[in-house]
Chain A
Amino acid sequence: MITNLTASERRGALLILVVMAIVGLFFAAAGRGDPIALHGALIMVVALAFAFPVMGHLYDPEPSADRLDTYYDDPSKVGMILTFAWAAFAMFVGDWLAWMMVEPTWTTGSAWSSFGRLRPVHTTGVIFGFGGNGLIATSFYVMQRTCRVRLPDQLSPWFVLLGFNLFCLLAVTGYMLGITQSKEYAEPEWYADLWLVIVWIVYFVLYLRTLARREEPHIYVANWYYMAFILVVAMLHIVNNLAVPVSFLSAKSHSLFSGVQDALTEWWYGHNAVAFFLTAGFLGMMYYYLPIRAGRPIFSYRMSIISFWGITFMYMWVGSHHLHHTALPQWVQTLGMSFSLVLLVPSWASAANALLTLNGAWHRVRDDATLRFMMIAAVFYGLTTFEGSFMAIRSVNALSHYTDWTVGHVHAGALGWVAMITFGALYASIPWLWKKERMYSSFLVELHFWLALSGTVIYVFALWNAGIIQGLMWRTYTENGNLAYTFLDSVVAMTPYYIARAIGGLLFLTGALAGCLNLYLTIRFAAPATEALSLMPLRDPVSDAVIQAAE
Chain B
Amino acid sequence: MFKLHYRLERRAIGMTLAIICAASVGGFVEIAPLFTIDQTVEAAPDMRVYTPLELAGRNIYMREGCYACHSQMIRTLRDEVERYGHYSLAVESKYDHPMLWGSKRTGPDIAPLGGKYSDEWHVRHLLNPREVVRVSIMPSYAWLMDNDLRIDDLSGQLAAQHAVGVPYTPDMIRHAADDAYGQANPDSNRVAGVRARYDDNTNIRAFDGIADRLTEMDALVAYLQILGRLTDASNLDPVGKDLE
Produce 1/0 per residue, B1-37, CB < 8 A to A.
0100110011011011001101111110111001101
In A270-321, which residues have CB < 8 Å from any B CB?
Answer: 276, 302, 305, 309, 312-320
Residue count of chain B within 8 Å CB distance of chain A = 91
Whether A325 touches B139, Cβ cut-off 8 Å, given contacts A114-B64, A258-B95, A403-B105, is no
| A268 part of interface (Cβ distance < 8 Å) | yes
In contact, B63 and A180 (Cβ under 8 angstroms): yes
In A333-387, which residues have CB < 8 Å from any B CB?
Answer: 335-336, 339
In contact, B10 and A119 (Cβ under 8 angstroms): no
Residues on B with beta carbons closer than 8 Å to the beta carbon of A328: 90
In B127-173, which residues have CB < 8 Å from any A CB?
Answer: 129-130, 133, 135-143, 152-153, 156-157, 159-161, 163-166
A301 to chain B: closest residue by CB: B2
A268–B31 alpha-carbon span in the complex (Å): 9
A246–B90 alpha-carbon span in the complex (Å): 26
Whether A253 touches B30, Cβ cut-off 8 Å, given contacts A116-B68, A313-B22, is no
Distance of B108 from chain A, by nearest CB (Å): 4
Whether A327 touches B97, Cβ cut-off 8 Å, given contacts A104-B139, A246-B156, is no
In contact, A259 and B90 (Cβ under 8 angstroms): yes
Find B65's partner among A120, A224, A258, A323 (CB 8 Å cutoff): A120
B133 to chain A: closest residue by CB: A488
Whether A245 touches B135, Cβ cut-off 8 Å, given contacts A33-B152, A232-B23, A326-B101, is no
Produce 1/0 per residue, A473-495, CB < 8 A to B.
01101000001000110011000
| B66 part of interface (Cβ distance < 8 Å) | yes
A116 to chain B: closest residue by CB: B65
In contact, A224 and B97 (Cβ under 8 angstroms): no
In contact, A326 and B157 (Cβ under 8 angstroms): no
Find A336's partner among B9, B30, B77, B98 (CB 8 Å cutoff): B30
| A201 part of interface (Cβ distance < 8 Å) | no
A318–B27 alpha-carbon span in the complex (Å): 9
In A166-216, which residues have CB < 8 Å from any B CB?
Answer: 175, 178-184, 208, 211-212
Residues on B with beta carbons closer than 8 Å to the beta carbon of A406: 103-104
In contact, B135 and A488 (Cβ under 8 angstroms): yes
In contact, B103 and A402 (Cβ under 8 angstroms): yes
A181 to chain B: closest residue by CB: B98
Find B23's partner among A217, A235, A488 (CB 8 Å cutoff): A235
In contact, B30 and A475 (Cβ under 8 angstroms): no
| B67 part of interface (Cβ distance < 8 Å) | yes
Residues on A with beta carbons closer than 8 Å to the beta carbon of B82: 483
| A398 part of interface (Cβ distance < 8 Å) | yes
Find A305's partner among B2, B77, B79, B80 (CB 8 Å cutoff): B2
In contact, A180 and B19 (Cβ under 8 angstroms): no
In contact, B160 and A259 (Cβ under 8 angstroms): no
Whether A261 touches B31, Cβ cut-off 8 Å, given contacts A212-B12, A407-B104, is yes
| B199 part of interface (Cβ distance < 8 Å) | no
In contact, B89 and A327 (Cβ under 8 angstroms): yes
A218–B156 alpha-carbon span in the complex (Å): 53
Distance of B105 from chain A, by nearest CB (Å): 4
Produce 1/0 per residue, A12-42, CB < 8 A to B.
0000000000000000000001100000000
| A46 part of interface (Cβ distance < 8 Å) | no
A336–B31 alpha-carbon span in the complex (Å): 12
Residues on B with beta carbons closer than 8 Å to the beta carbon of A101: 106, 137
In contact, A208 and B16 (Cβ under 8 angstroms): yes
In contact, B77 and A325 (Cβ under 8 angstroms): yes
Distance of B176 from chain A, by nearest CB (Å): 11
In contact, B97 and A255 (Cβ under 8 angstroms): yes
Residues on A with beta carbons closer than 8 Å to the beta carbon of B103: 184, 322, 401-402, 406
In contact, B161 and A254 (Cβ under 8 angstroms): yes
A227–B37 alpha-carbon span in the complex (Å): 35
A217–B93 alpha-carbon span in the complex (Å): 53
In contact, B90 and A266 (Cβ under 8 angstroms): no
Give 17 A-B pairs besides A265-B31, A314-B26 with Cβ atoms closer than 8 angstroms.
A115-B68, A115-B139, A116-B64, A179-B63, A183-B98, A208-B16, A227-B15, A231-B20, A235-B23, A259-B99, A260-B93, A302-B2, A320-B30, A474-B83, A475-B79, A483-B83, A488-B135
Interface residues of A (CB under 8 A from B): 33-34, 100-102, 104, 107, 109-111, 114-117, 119-120, 175, 178-184, 208, 211-212, 217-219, 224, 227-228, 231-232, 235, 239, 243-247, 250, 252-266, 268, 276, 302, 305, 309, 312-320, 322-329, 332, 335-336, 339, 395, 398, 401-404, 406-407, 470, 474-475, 477, 483, 487-488, 491-492
- What would be 5 A-B contacts, judged by CB atoms less than 8 Å apart? A219-B12, A227-B12, A257-B97, A326-B88, A491-B137
